[in-house]
Chains A and B, each alone.
Chain A
Amino acid sequence: MSDVISFLPPREKVLARRSTIIADLADLLPADCLVHEPRELVPFETDAFVAYRRLPLAVVLPHNTAQVAAVLKYCHRYGVPVVPRGAGTSLCGGAIPQEDAVVIGLSKMSRILEVDFANRTATVQAGVTNLSISDTVGPEGYFYAPDPSSQLACTIGGNIAMNSGGAHCLKYGVTTNNLLGVKMVLMDGTVIDLGGKHLDSAGYDLLGLVCGSEGQLGIVTEATVRLIAKPEGARPVLFGFTSSEEAGACVADVIGAGIIPVAIEFMDKPAIEICEAFAKAGYPLDVEALLIVEVEGSEAEMEAMLSSIVEIARRHGVKTVRESQSATEAALIWKGRKSAFGATGRIADYICMDGTVPLSKLSYVLKRTSEIVEGFGLRVANVFHAGDGNMHPLILFNANDPVEAAKAEAAGNEILKLCVDAGGCLTGEHGVGIEKRDLMLHQYTRAELDQQIRVREAFDSQWLLNPSKVFPLDGRPQTAGAV
């Protein structure tokens, strides 16, 4: 793919000291924690935003907070950039390293430290996978609510860095709404605790600021998250419509009627075909748009809620209504949806956008999205969280064709601008990373961005933490290696 997104130029002084830095890191850490042979660095050169890659200077894989602190303190002293990494599932390039950076991978810190059912909390190390929390507490009747599609692999530390969402956040919120506390290491090696098992913060809400800060403010090594009692039952229902507009209007009316299902997922025809071919979930193929609506609660509650939703859907000319009849069928329905990205990747290369728009603009933005992508001579499949307006158009292209790749990227940028212009934002849950960095001035004024930059500098005045990300390289302060 065309390399149009630039990284900061590597710090020459750091590159020149490469062998010294590696020797020093080897002194700080046990042997199994340091990776520096070029061949062994390759698995760390990119994340799920695979179009871009850079080999890091070295990778460290600490076992504990003290080791993270030692490495940060060292890097702070010698001006070495660091790039934090969880499972490397970032879709926006948030974990892609750079040549002068030490990657700090949290994969060895994967223990669940404490589960406290009476207080409904779990305290875990940052490298614990999202799904393993729910797997651990599930037998006792609890779960951890945010459920990004990558939940089998992605880590809680990465979720905190990106403030990850998922399909069920319509009811339960995103990571920031389910995070009670963190232990984190500041760039100078200081370890601080924010929050805990209690609610709300003493002083400023630094926990809320850290969540979603994309590794710009420090490295989270432990987290305390909120657990929720599992609902008695949950049932996804498929609603097939003859047009996207009708499906969109149905979503608005369900919400407007005061019904908040736990999830409302939208797929258009291309997405339905791709997912059905992969997952054999029984999605109807004769419709233009599909909604997966999940309700939960007791049998009586689900019945009551569903009958209201069905009635609204009928007013919008719903063509197919299919309730899952068993847990297996329900799981299959979700498998189809959650494998959307993977399934799409089997038939073409794609880039996935993540803008959010106000619910009233859904139909308009969908229509314009198709027009934009068709205008570039490409195809698009739409799967997204309709209940909260978080769109995920997948733009299909051939990565071996540089012209097509450039077109896909240009189409994506136009779609994101469309989302902002419709009153929404560039990214609802994937993060800015490098992918959307250069579009930030479309959403924010220079003064607004400068205020964010100044707050960032309160944490890392030397711009060592994940420095190529989030903020456009132009217009940064001198300390940030402005270009």
Chain B
Amino acid sequence: MSLLLVPTREEEAADMIRAAAEAKRSLAISGGNTRSGFGQQVEAQGVLRSAGLSGIVAYDPAEMVLTARAGTPVSEIEEALAENGQMLAFEPMDHRAVMGTVGEPTIGGIFATNTSGPRRFVAGAARDSLLGVRYINGRGEVLRAGGRVMKNVTGLDLVKLLAGSFGTLGFLTEVTFRVLPRPQDQRTIILSGLDDGEAARAMAIAMSLSVEVSGAAHLPESVRGRFLNGNLSDGPATVLRLEGLAASVAVRAQKLVATLQSLAPISQLEAEESRVLWQEIRDVKPYADGTMKPLWRVSVAPTSGFQLVAALRLQAGIDCFYDWQGGLLWMRMESEPEGELVRHVMHQTGGGHATLVRASDDMRATENAFEPLPAAVLALQARVKQQLDPAGIFNPGKMARS
């Protein structure tokens, strides 16, 4: 078993990293370790966890900004926000059910993996809410990037670079992010019986209206029964979420229904059920199935999603559903990951990127979890990594299979 490091102070973490860099001792970086199945397997000589750096540092609801140490449990953040009627706009997914992991997800882990949920396609990803960080680079220097204000173009935006770098560029010790008022009301409009292509068209129409749809997903017949304890109406369900002041939601729902009612039978979910449904979509409930069947997360242009699926179905056994107006595919493979095939078909239908979120250890060893990059971008990325982590000690191999 490798050395486990759980610093409780930033300077302590810096010392540990400096010592590791000097000894060229690699470190697997993690927060609550609930998402570590994501990406390539890391072979490291030590484990550095942020869990000991915990607690909310500053939170003034009137400023809509919160600062917390990286190892703060997400549940603690969400509680504090809920008390003040606020939320994380990007609606981060909880990976535990789908990955079969236990433990407490951390706020640092959310940003290190740029984890977002259904509202991402209109409200931005985790990286869009992240205003500033404190982090330790591979030389063991404690540094800041960004700040605590919403508009800041002072110098290079290393905040974006660190968000979604999966602990390969630096060890986050503190994050400052924007929060938003929780909508007073919400409801979901359900169109029943559309096939994948018709659903994509219906969602595009919904997004063209000035009704501010904040969730647009298509749940084909095969997954429908897994939502709301099987209480979603029969047939494939195309679901559209509206959020805001109660009066606005009612007015916008009317407008949406009036435009879409010629396409399919329509029903509605009131606030409480709507909230549950979107949380289940966020956490990929249909594939929280207790298996390690390969699960892909594929991001493409919204109108390409169903074409990719149709083309892929001719060659592989898949089950899938769509979020982000059809541009985010959650795809469970029947047996093998078939990464090459998935990516080949994706590029033929317009491009994007496919990430293997879950697979058995054997499969992860032979599959590229992240989208392989063109040589020029890969070289650039390697140079950037070299500049932040010259000794190459942070999460070696996490983002690219060697």
A480 an interface residue at 8 Å Cβ cutoff? Answer: no
Flag if B303 contacts A304 (CB, 8 Å): no
Chain B residues within CB distance 8 Å of chain A? 60-65, 85-86, 114, 116, 120-121, 124-125, 127-128, 137, 141, 143-145, 147-161, 163-165, 169, 180-182, 184, 201, 204, 207-210, 212, 244-245, 247-248, 251-252, 255, 299-304, 324, 327-328, 350-353, 355, 370-371, 373-374, 376-378, 380-381, 383-384, 386-388, 399
Residue on B with the closest CB to A256?
B62
Flag if B154 contacts A432 (CB, 8 Å): yes
Q: Please, how many angstroms separate the alpha-carbon atoms of A428 and B154 in the complex?
A: 7
Flag if B384 contacts A204 (CB, 8 Å): yes
Flag if B380 contacts A358 (CB, 8 Å): no
A467 an interface residue at 8 Å Cβ cutoff? Answer: no
Q: Please, how many angstroms separate the alpha-carbon atoms of A443 and B352 in the complex?
A: 37
A200 an interface residue at 8 Å Cβ cutoff? Answer: yes
List, in ascending order, chain B residues with CB within 8 A of A253's CB: 62
Which residues 428-460 of A sit at the B interface, judged by CB distance below 8 A? Answer: 428-432, 436, 440, 443-445, 447-449, 451-452, 454-459
Of the candidate stretches A2-10, A225-233, A323-331, the one touching chain B is A225-233
- Closest Cβ–Cβ distance, residue A49 to chain B (whole Å): 15
From A211, A260, A359, residue with most partner B Cβ within 10 Å = A359
Flag if A205 contacts B154 (CB, 8 Å): no
Chain A residues within CB distance 8 Å of chain B? 116-121, 141-142, 162-163, 165, 169-170, 173-174, 176-177, 186, 190-194, 196-209, 211-213, 216, 229-232, 252-253, 255-256, 258-260, 297-298, 300-301, 304-305, 356-360, 385, 388-390, 423-432, 436, 440, 443-445, 447-449, 451-452, 454-459, 470
Given known contacts A117-B208, A428-B153, A470-B155, A199 and B121 CB-to-CB distance under 8 angstroms: yes
Flag if B381 contacts A298 (CB, 8 Å): no
Q: Please, how many angstroms separate the alpha-carbon atoms of A191 and B137 in the complex?
A: 29
Q: Please, how many angstroms separate the alpha-carbon atoms of A388 and B377 in the complex?
A: 34
Flag if A389 contacts B149 (CB, 8 Å): yes
- Closest Cβ–Cβ distance, residue A281 to chain B (whole Å): 25
Flag if B114 contacts A118 (CB, 8 Å): no
Contact of A425 among B152, B255, B377 (CB under 8 A): B152
Flag if B208 contacts A229 (CB, 8 Å): yes
List, in ascending order, chain A residues with CB within 8 A of B180's CB: 260
Flag if A216 contacts B156 (CB, 8 Å): yes
Flag if A205 contacts B302 (CB, 8 Å): no
Given known contacts A118-B204, A204-B165, A199 and B328 CB-to-CB distance under 8 angstroms: yes
List, in ascending order, chain B residues with CB within 8 A of A390's CB: 149-151
Flag if B151 contacts A174 (CB, 8 Å): yes
Flag if A388 contacts B151 (CB, 8 Å): yes
Flag if B299 contacts A200 (CB, 8 Å): yes
Flag if B164 contacts A258 (CB, 8 Å): no
The contact sample of 14 A-B pairs, CB cut-off 8 A, is: A174-B151, A192-B376, A203-B378, A209-B158, A211-B157, A212-B157, A232-B210, A255-B62, A258-B182, A298-B210, A358-B65, A425-B152, A451-B143, A458-B386
List, in ascending order, chain B residues with CB within 8 A of A456's CB: 156
Q: Please, how many angstroms separate the alpha-carbon atoms of A445 and B142 in the complex?
A: 10
List, in ascending order, chain A residues with CB within 8 A of B302's CB: 118-120
Q: Please, how many angstroms separate the alpha-carbon atoms of A256 and B387 in the complex?
A: 41
List, in ascending order, chain A residues with CB within 8 A of B370's CB: 202-203
Flag if A206 contacts B377 (CB, 8 Å): yes
Q: Please, how many angstroms separate the alpha-carbon atoms of A459 and B114 in the complex?
A: 24
Q: Please, how many angstroms separate the alpha-carbon atoms of A161 and B306 in the complex?
A: 35
- Closest Cβ–Cβ distance, residue A37 to chain B (whole Å): 35
List, in ascending order, chain A residues with CB within 8 A of B116's CB: 200
Ranked 3 nearest A-B pairs via Cβ: A208-B160, A258-B181, A202-B371
- Closest Cβ–Cβ distance, residue A22 to chain B (whole Å): 30
Flag if A203 contacts B371 (CB, 8 Å): yes
Flag if B63 contacts A199 (CB, 8 Å): no
Q: Please, how many angstroms separate the alpha-carbon atoms of A160 and B127 in the complex?
A: 17
